[in-house]
Chain A
Amino acid sequence: MNAATFTMDGLTTPETTVRFARPSRTRTVEVVSDDEDAQLMLAYARGEMRAFETLYARHRGALYRYLTRQARDGEIANDLFQEVWSRVIVNRARYEPRAKFRTFLFTLAHNCFIDHCRRTKARPAGLRVEDADDADLLPAPEDTQPDAALSKDESSRRYRAALATLPAEQRDVYLLHEESDLSLEEIARVTGVGAETAKSRLRYAVAKLKTALSVAEA
């Protein structure tokens, strides 16, 4: 059982009455079983729109954060997010619940991001200048700052800058672990490497992040 904190601000779209959960510190949302997700996907393949709405509400946040932190660009993240769900929709008839739906979804997201990098010939890894500058100028942790709000904002920026210093493979594994709640074996399957390789990449990523954050704090 995994838990995350979310805000329960309802979002009602004009076209649907689906209410999506917004981040909050006050509500604990249970992560549902992936078998249920697979059943929802199969139900959507049979034409039940309500099943897709439920499925989408469950995974939209994690997927969006994964893509945003991978792409580090809001517009690109939006495009990739829409592309991933488009592939889910298009492949609904061919979907087979051989693995967890979450694994299927993040495999699509991983592949979409790789395709994007190939199309734009952009470096999937690397430190952007503004991120490096942000990292160098990061202030102290929030508990040492009098202004908590400013500290929170700066802490977030420092985290993003530390993520940007990671190589693409390590950042990918780390973000999959953090955002998708996949197991190490599932992350290895998504990224197409062995479980030991994935674990090694994750170990390096965690060590580098700790170092970057501690340097920034210092």
Chain B
Amino acid sequence: MTGSDDDFEDFLNRRKSIVRKSADEMFEPPAELDRVVLRQAREAIQPPEPMRVFSAPRWSMPIALAATLLLAFTIIFRVGMEPPKPAGEVTAQNVAERVEVPAASAAPAPMAEPSAERSRADSTTRRMAGASAATDASADAASAPAAKASEVPAWRRDPKSWTAEIQRLRDAGETARADAEAAEFKRAQRAYAVAPDR
């Protein structure tokens, strides 16, 4: 092994250097470069901020919440305070009025049937109206039009005047009329006694 080989081995094993390095040879990167690298390293490990497409102002959330609550309470109050609609009275007349019978398909024979049903509906209505009017108690009176009720004599509207009128007819010798009025008076009184609302 030659001397140069020994020197190279010493150099390889770092026991000997070719040049004696001064402090100037041990220069280092500038501080600005350090800052750049460290900033880049720091930014690389920071979690990315979520992208916000729309950034609403801070007061928007409470305002939106209050508006929602106000709307909800308004709807609740309006629905809760509204009086219930009265259900339509289910009567044969109402049903008959609502049922539309096609005119083309209606045969001449069944024509009597609606009129009979109409009369039954009228009687039901009147029956439910009560027996406040004594003249409406009989079936004939019930089928008579309402205009005829105004032709009833005034003394028939009060039992006392009606009995007084019967007595006057008897005194006058009109016995047949007095008996007829007495029978009518009794019929009216019975009708009043058996009225459903009594």
* A202 to B10 alpha-carbon distance, docked (Å): 13
Central interface residue in B7, B19, B35, B40, by most chain A CB within 10 Å? B19
- Closest A-chain residue to B18, C-beta based? A209
Closest to B45 in A: A47
CA distance A22 to B23 in the complex (A): 9
Given the known inter-chain contacts A2-B14, A23-B27, A156-B25, please indicate yes or no for A13 contacting B35, CB distance below 8 A.
Answer: yes
Smallest beta-carbon distance A56→chain B, Å: 6
A72-97 contacts to B, CB under 8 A, are 78, 81-82, 85-86, 89-90, 92
B31 located at the interface, meaning its Cβ lies under 8 Å from any Cβ of chain A in the complex:
yes
* B41:A20 contact, CB within 8 angstroms: no
Q: Among B18, B24, B31, B42, which residue has its beta carbon within 8 angstroms of that of A213?
A: B18
- Asked whether A81 and B28 contact (CB < 8 A) given A15-B39, A86-B40, A89-B41, the answer is no
Instruction: Kindly state whether residue A44 has any CB partner on chain B within 8 Å.
Output: yes
Say whether, besides A7-B23, A14-B35, A60-B34, A20 and B44 are in contact (CB < 8 Å). no
CA distance A181 to B8 in the complex (A): 16
B40 touches A203 (CB 8 A): no
| Docked complex Cα distance between A82 and B22 (Å) | 26
Q: Is B83 an interface residue (CB 8 A)?
A: no
Report Cα–Cα, A190/B39, bound state, in Å: 28
User: What CA separation (Å) do A152 and B12 show in the bound complex?
Assistant: 25
B38 and A78 contact, CB distance less than 8 A: no
Q: Does A128 contact B (CB under 8 A)?
A: no
Residues facing B in A180-218 (CB within 8 A) are 181, 184, 199, 202-203, 206-207, 209-210, 213
Is B29 an interface position by the 8 A CB rule? Answer: yes
CA distance A153 to B30 in the complex (A): 20
Restricting to A26-70, which residues have a CB under 8 Å from any CB of B? 44, 47, 49, 52-53, 56, 60-61, 64-65, 68
B33 sits at the interface (CB 8 A): yes
- With A11-B31, A56-B37, A206-B11 as known contacts, state yes or no: A213 contacts B19, CB within 8 Å: yes
Which chain B residues in 1-58 approach chain A with CB under 8 Å? 4, 7-8, 11-12, 14, 18-20, 22-31, 33-42, 44-45
Task: Compute the total of residue contacts between A and B using a CB distance below 8 Å.
Answer: 111
Residue A120 interfacial (CB < 8 Å) = no
Closest partner residue, chain B, to A12 (CB atom) = B31
Structural contact, A78 and B4, CB atoms closer than 8 A: no
Chain A residue contacts of B41, Cβ below 8 A? 44, 49, 52-53, 56, 85, 89
The answer to whether A16 and B38 touch (CB under 8 A), given A6-B26, A89-B44, A155-B22, is yes
Q: How far is the CA of A203 from the CA of B12 in the complex (A)?
A: 9
Is A25 among interface residues, defined by CB-CB distance under 8 A? Answer: yes
**Contacts known (A60-B29, A156-B24, A213-B18); A90 close to B44, Cβ less than 8 A:** yes
A167 to chain B, nearest CB (A): 17
Interface residues in A83-120 by Cβ distance below 8 A to B read: 85-86, 89-90, 92
- Please give the residue numbers on chain A whose beta carbons come within 8 Å of chain B beta carbons, in ascending order: 2, 4-7, 11, 13-16, 18, 20, 22-25, 44, 47, 49, 52-53, 56, 60-61, 64-65, 68, 78, 81-82, 85-86, 89-90, 92, 152-153, 155-156, 159, 177, 181, 184, 199, 202-203, 206-207, 209-210, 213
Not counting A11-B31, A23-B26, A206-B18, a sample of 4 additional A-B residue pairs whose C-beta atoms are within 8 angstroms of each other reads A15-B38, A24-B23, A60-B37, A85-B41
Query: Can you list the 7 inter-chain pairs with the closest CB atoms, starting with the nearest?
Result: A23-B26, A64-B29, A85-B37, A23-B23, A61-B28, A47-B45, A52-B41
24 contacts between A and B (CB under 8 A): A15-B42, A16-B35, A18-B34, A23-B27, A49-B42, A52-B41, A53-B38, A56-B37, A60-B28, A60-B29, A60-B34, A64-B33, A65-B26, A65-B27, A78-B30, A81-B37, A85-B41, A86-B37, A155-B22, A156-B24, A156-B25, A159-B25, A199-B12, A209-B18
